[in-house]
Structure 1
């Protein structure tokens, strides 16, 4: 299995994989247009030429990025595909100097194994007002907010306190 940045040739497979889970209400759908417009944000897991996992890292603010649209093909659930994709995105956030990586999820157990911690959604004003406000679930969101603190978190907190 290879984990790499998504390419334009991956877009249709990415959309189909995401749509499987959107159809049952486990994630928001993504259009081909949306995936193309944000292609540089996406990472895929590929095996035998097939996309078997996908997720995007969307920078929300200088101190926060979000993992979005994490989907893994059902036939490879439990085989570490999602873990490898998320770890790749965490390394990307660390490379960018971002101290916190957010996920809004129903899969809390999965993210807890990757050292994400549950937080209150209300503590995320950049996320809530930028994207969530336009979501059809805004007034009855049942996703859990979880955050991973990167190697830059303590330095960023010290910088904020010094100001």
Structure 2
């Protein structure tokens, strides 16, 4: 059984590796090592009993009382154990602790996030996200991700 915990310095390479592997399947956007180190405090990790990082997820503060769950990855061999759900729960709890009122995600796995309590919304209510990150994405403006939001 893996544990969910805040990321530490020694986790950065493991986070980078599993995100890089997931970008091959277009499951998440790539993140540079520099970006991971710069945002390490945003990350939660799933750590297997052998110490390997088998999942990660980040909570990124976007704007006043608005945060994003991003970079959710679980290695293929660790899927099915609710690690993704537990990491999203950890992010949502941290958002509550910080006084965030809404958490959003852009995703291709709508059913998973529906089960976590998110509902589909219009991307136009997220202009901070669109102009901060989406504008630099190679898929912009033809993104197929679904914006979803959870009110806390």
Coarse TM-score class (shorter-chain normalised): over 0.9
2:90 to 66, 88, 91: 88
**After TM superposition, which residue ranges in structure 1, 4 or more long, deviate above 3 angstroms?**
none
1:96-115 matches, cutoff 5 A: 96-115=98-117
Rg (Cα) greater in structure: 1
**Residue pairs, 1:64-143, within 5 angstroms:** 64-143=66-145
Match runs of 1:1-163 below 5 Å: 1-48=2-49, 49-150=51-152
- How far 1:63 sits from its partner (Å)? 2.1
Number of residue pairs matched by the alignment: 150
- After TM superposition, give the deviation of residue 133 of structure 1 in Å: 1.3
Once residues 148 and 123 of structure 1 are traced to their aligned partners in structure 2, the CA distance between those partners, rounded to angstroms, is 13
Larger relative helix fraction: 1
Q: Root-mean-square deviation (CA), in Å?
A: 0.9
Superposed CA deviations along residues 60-118 of structure 1, whole A, max 9, x for unmatched, are 01121001110001112111100100000000000010011111000111000011000
Distance in 2, matches of 1:96 and 1:128, equals 23
Q: Structure 1: 5+ residue runs without aligned partners?
A: 151-163
Distance across 2 between alignment mates of 1:136 and 1:85: 27
* TM-score w.r.t. length of structure 1: 0.89
User: 2: distance between equivalents of 1:126 and 1:71?
Assistant: 23
